[in-house]
């Protein structure tokens, strides 16, 4: 049987018997039809999936990573069903302008703007900046246990395809050239607005007092190519020196690697309009076929009940949380704890809870490994229960990525293992390991799946003395047994002052470092 980390044959062994998983339907909310519906594969067993990646002008924040984690969970669930996934997620390293809330963005390229910032002073040119932040992004991607895409294309590596696409759209009457660029005519594509509801008439009302370019036929028309021989990143085209519009890159790269029609396209809710609406118009004008059969979008992330913002001091990246002592898998756990179709409030408590729950999986992993090596003979007393819990977790994930239920079922499994941790037989340990492997393959929360290939980020402040904390826990346990509750409470309070939170359960006392958001 293939490794459970990568899907494989959808079967599992319980008490020596082989059980076939029941047929499951993978259902997700579709932004286009406004309903939860099954993913329909054009080719049986193969999911062709595109998810918009980052613009690499700065460190990606945890809100960005919530969206990338949604895509990761789609992949893991699909693989658990035995599907093959061809997953493409791009890197935007040119063309994304600062004022991107209108179909035709304005302002400065985010890459060029970042080079002029205080942080940008360390770079000699925009190419160095892009490389630095792309590398940082990939490191954080690995830390959060995200699966690698089949292809990770960069906009700057696909310039020819973007220029050819712009030429073809002009030739077929969907776009036109002006002294400032090449623009897609919104009026030429009758389906414009079907994803977001921003129809041509609505857009005319929205922009009638905002003149972006007097040369355009309609102010809602958006750029395929910007003519600019002074831009820091520019290429020569039949239209002159310049750079591509932001929307065009995803259309051409998705088509190049996945074909004319995708099975599934994902991104954050901020991309519904204009980015994805414009992708649809360009792509369907080029091919005459539906661009994607299914669209999913992840809702926004708040931090402590507020919009994340550098000015309010609640703006967090993966590495800033690691510097505060968070475990990267706990960050992952907290970010997937809420269902992707609803806004998520990321708090100190949710991160602390995630760290505590992660510790349970670590303890289970250690207990299982110890029993596999030193456990005695005996029946498998946990396999059936764990098999049922895994089934329930997978059912939840196939039902619109219901991570709340899936995580709850995963935690029930840790209780099953920890109750028997002192007396696990080797047969029980085998079932425990299989369960943990499968939960990790499905949710990515048990252990790191690969060598990170980067240096760990050390937490700021003094090192935690784990041996001392464990000794105090044992002293507290002894004090409680001898009914010296005053001493037991004092130990707990002293550790709280040090930022250590004790958690009591029927399996014993554990501790976590309290985060400081």
Of 411, 367, 357, nearest in space to 389 by CA: 411
Q: Is pLDDT at 13 greater than 60 in this prediction?
A: no
Contacts of 124 (CB under 8 A, 6+ apart): none
- CB-based burial, 492-515: b 16+ in 10 Å, e otherwise: beebeeeebbbbeeebeebbbbbb
At residue 366, what are phi and psi to the nearest 5 degrees? Answer: -65, -40
How far apart (Å, rounded) are the C-alpha atoms in residues 473 and 191? Answer: 64
What pLDDT does 101 receive?
Answer: 74
Q: What is the pTM of this model?
A: 0.87
Q: What are 435-454's pLDDT values in tens digits?
A: 999 999 999 999 999 887 77
- Report the DSSP pairing between strands 46-51 and 264-268: parallel
Residue 440 has a pLDDT of 98
Q: Is the pLDDT of residue 292 over 70?
A: yes
**Residue 485, in any domain of the structure:** yes
Give the three-state DSSP class for 189.
coil
Q: Is residue 477 part of a domain?
A: yes
Helix (H) / strand (E) element for 492: namely: helix 485-497
Q: Is 90 exceeded by the pLDDT of residue 430?
A: yes
Q: Mind listing the pLDDT tens digit for each residue in 399-415?
A: 999 999 999 999 999 99
Query: Given 255, 271, 298, which residue is the final one in a domain?
Result: 298
Predicted pLDDT at 314: 87
**152 close to 159: Cβ distance less than 8 angstroms:** no
Angle at alpha carbon of residue 86, lines to 184 and 22, rounded to 5°: 125
Comparing 507 with 237, the larger pLDDT belongs to 237
**pLDDT of res. 506:** 67
Q: How many domains does the chain fold into?
A: 2
Please state the rounded mean pLDDT for residues 88-114. Answer: 85
State the Cα–Cα distance between residues 481 and 466, nearest whole angstrom: 23
Tell me if 248 is assigned to some domain: yes
- Of 151-155, 411-415, 483-487, where does mean pLDDT reach its minimum? 483-487
Instruction: Report the DSSP beta bridge partners of residue 264.
Output: 49
What is the model's pLDDT at position 390?
A: 98
**What pLDDT does residue 220 have?**
86
Task: Dihedral sign for Cα 150, 155, 161, 166, please.
Answer: positive
Max CA pair span of the chain:
87
DSSP 367-422: HHHHHHHH--S---SSHHHHHHHHHHHHHHHHBT--HHHHHHHHHHHHHHHHHTGG
Least confident span in 43-52, 67-76, 302-311, 320-329: 302-311
Question: Whole-angstrom Cα distance, residue 394 to residue 22?
Answer: 11
152 contacts 53 by C-beta, under 8 angstroms: yes
Distance CA(348)–CA(354), nearest Å, equals 10
State which H helix or E strand residue 357 sits in.
helix 348-374
Nearest to 511 by CA among 362, 345, 390: 362
CA atoms 372, 373, 375, 376: torsion sign: positive
- Range of lowest pLDDT (162-166, 360-364, 466-470): 466-470
- If DSSP states are collapsed to H, E and C, what string results for 103-131? CCCEEEEHHHHHHCCCHHHHCCCHHHHHH
Residue 496, domain member (yes or no): yes
**Strand ranges inside 429-474, DSSP E:** none
Residue 22 in this model has a pLDDT that exceeds 50 = no
β-bridge partners, 373: none
What's the whole-number mean pLDDT along residues 42-53? 97
What local confidence, expressed as pLDDT, does residue 19 receive?
38
In a domain? residue 491: yes
Residue 340: CB atoms within 10 A of its CB come to 28
| Cis omega (within 30 of 0) for bond into 76 | no
Q: Which of 242, 275, 298 is the last residue of a domain?
A: 298
In a domain, 310, yes or no: no
pLDDT band at 328 (very low <50, low <70, confident <90, very high): very high
| Cα 35 to Cα 60, 237, 263, 391, distances in angstroms | 30, 42, 16, 25
Q: Which of 131-140, 217-226, 270-279, 286-295 has the lowest mean pLDDT?
A: 217-226
CB of 317 closer than 8 Å to CB of 136: no
What is the rounded distance in angstroms from the CA atom of residue 47 to the CA atom of residue 74? 10
Q: Does 3 have pLDDT greater than 50?
A: no
Q: What is the pLDDT of residue 2?
A: 36
d(CA 239, CA 145): 43
Contact 369/428 with Cβ under 8 angstroms?
Answer: no
Please report, for residues 99, 164, 418, 464, the alpha-carbon distance to residue 461 in angstroms, rounded to integers and kept in the order given.
39, 54, 33, 9
Of 197 and 172, more confident: 172
Average pLDDT of the chain, as a whole number: 89
Q: The CATH number of the domain where 272 resides is what?
A: 3.40.50.620
What does the pLDDT read at residue 211?
45
pLDDT at position 16: 33
CA distance 338 to 148: 23
Q: Are 221 and 184 in contact (CB under 8 A)?
A: yes
Is 93:56 a contact under the CB 8 Å cutoff? yes
CA angle 366, 359, 417 (to 5 degrees): 50
Tell which of 298, 328, 344 closes a domain: 298
Report yes or no on 260 lying in a domain. yes
3 or 374, which is more confident: 374
Mean pLDDT of 263-268: 98
CA atoms of 327 and 315, how far apart (whole Å): 18
Q: What's the pLDDT score for residue 9? A: 37
- The pLDDT score that the predictor gives to residue 502 is 86
24, burial (CB in 10 Å: exposed 0-12, middle 13-18, buried 19+) = middle
Least confident of 50-54, 259-263, 485-489, 496-500: 496-500
In this predicted model, what pLDDT tens digit does every residue of 121-149 receive, in sequence order? 999 999 999 999 999 999 999 999 999 99
* Domain extent at residue 488: 466-513
CA distance linking residue 387 with residue 391, whole number of Å: 6
Q: What is the pLDDT of residues 190-239, one digit of tens each?
A: 999 999 988 766 666 544 444 467 788 888 899 999 999 888 899 999 99
In the chain, % of residues over pLDDT 70: 91
In a domain, 283, yes or no: yes
Please report the pLDDT score of residue 451 as a whole number. 82
More confident call, 231 vs 11: 231
Quick one: pLDDT band at residue 301, thresholds 50, 70, 90? very high
């Amino acid at each position: 049987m293939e490794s459970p980390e990568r899907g494989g044959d959808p079967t599992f062994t319980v008490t020596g018997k082989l059980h076939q998983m029941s047929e499951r339907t993978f259902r997700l909310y579709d932004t286009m039809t406004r309903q939860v519906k099954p993913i329909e594969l054009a080719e049986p067993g193969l999911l062709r999936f595109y998810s918009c990646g980052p613009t690499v002008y700065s460190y990606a924040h945890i809100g960005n990573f919530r969206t990338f984690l949604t895509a990761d969970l789609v992949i893991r669930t699909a693989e658990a069903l035995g599907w093959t996934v061809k997953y493409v997620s791009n890197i935007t390293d040119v063309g994304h302008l600062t004022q991107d809330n209108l179909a035709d963005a304005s302002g400065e390229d985010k890459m060029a703007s970042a080079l002029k910032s205080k942080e940008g002073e360390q770079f000699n040119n925009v190419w160095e900046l892009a490389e630095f932040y792309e590398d940082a992004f990939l490191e954080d991607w690995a830390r959060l246990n995200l699966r690698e895409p089949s292809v990770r294309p960069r906009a700057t590596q696909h310039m020819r395809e973007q220029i050819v696409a712009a030429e073809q759209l002009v030739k077929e009457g969907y776009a036109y050239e002006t002294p400032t660029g090449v623009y897609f005519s919104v009026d030429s594509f009758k389906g414009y607005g079907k994803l977001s509801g921003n129809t041509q008439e609505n857009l005319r009302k929205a922009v009638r007092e905002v003149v972006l370019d007097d040369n355009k036929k309609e102010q809602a028309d958006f750029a395929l190519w910007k003519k600019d021989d002074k831009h820091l990143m520019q290429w020569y085209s039949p239209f002159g020196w310049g750079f591509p519009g932001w929307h065009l890159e995803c259309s051409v790269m998705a088509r190049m690697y996945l074909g004319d029609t995708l099975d599934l396209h994902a991104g954050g809710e901020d991309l519904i309009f204009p980015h994805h609406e414009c992708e649809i118009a360009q792509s369907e004008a080029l091919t005459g076929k539906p661009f994607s059969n299914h669209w999913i979008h992840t809702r926004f992330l708040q931090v402590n009940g507020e919009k994340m913002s550098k000015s309010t001091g609640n703006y967090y990246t993966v590495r800033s949380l690691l510097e505060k002592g968070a475990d990267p898998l706990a960050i992952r756990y907290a970010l997937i704890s809420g269902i992707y179709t609803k806004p998520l409030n990321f708090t100190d408590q949710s991160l602390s809870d995630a760290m505590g729950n992660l510790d349970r999986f670590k303890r289970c992993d250690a207990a299982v490994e110890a029993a596999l090596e030193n456990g005695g003979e005996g029946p498998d007393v946990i396999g059936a229960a764990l098999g049922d819990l895994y089934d329930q977790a997978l059912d939840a994930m196939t039902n619109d990525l219901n991570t709340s239920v899936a995580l709850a079922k995963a935690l029930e499994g840790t209780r099953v293992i920890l109750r028997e941790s002192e007396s696990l037989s080797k047969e029980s340990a085998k079932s425990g390991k299989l369960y943990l492997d499968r939960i990790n393959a499905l949710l990515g929360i048990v252990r790191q799946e690969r060598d990170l290939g980067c240096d760990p980020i050390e937490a700021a402040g003094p090192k935690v003395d784990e041996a001392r904390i464990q000794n105090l826990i044992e002293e507290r346990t002894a004090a409680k047994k001898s009914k010296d509750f005053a001493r037991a409470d004092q130990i707990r309070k002293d550790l709280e002052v040090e930022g250590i939170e004790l958690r009591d359960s029927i399996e014993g006392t554990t501790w976590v470092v309290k985060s400081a958001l």
